[in-house]
Structure 1
């Protein structure tokens, strides 16, 4: 394998690792569920994308043909992560999980809860 291919793979792995680390720290450190959604859905999705792209380059070079499986996994994760975050946020609203006072958009949360209560009546 040439130096440039190894450099590209290494850069993708480091970038992916940094995003995964930041997302994991965000998940552990942020105070409420509405803020915690950003860690696993944004940073870790970018992190795993970097790792999978590095795997795609490595496998494509070793096999001599384009590796489709890593690309499909990456696309699946990029499509499903926002949907999962939306469902988690809806569940938190439905269960009336409290947000900390400094969370932005408190009036929107109350308006959504009141709208959902009016719809169910």
Structure 2
């Protein structure tokens, strides 16, 4: 299992502790250090069963800084944007088998550790 993880994010820390408490092995994808490849972003968007916009942190300042309204962006444009500005991807995102899970709340964490 891979986790798109930001060590400064309280939601990521909560998920990390839940995984450790259950003894679940996971790979920390420190995307702010390594970036996101276009292949990884495509995998996330293709594997997520909900609205692709759920995978984006639309209130991040980077959109305003770039003069963009995320609600007006097309999917392919957003995918390119996330490769250039990975801070705007939702977190924590869990890649479990072929499923993409947003683990920001108790329900998401339960899906991961359940």
TM-score bracket, normalised by the shorter chain, equals under 0.3
Query: Which one has the bigger helix percentage?
Result: 1
TM-score of the superposition, structure 1-length normalised?
0.22
Q: Greater RCO between the two (CA within 8 Å, min separation 6)?
A: 2
Point out the structure with max Rg over C-alpha: 1
Query: Which one has the bigger strand percentage?
Result: 2
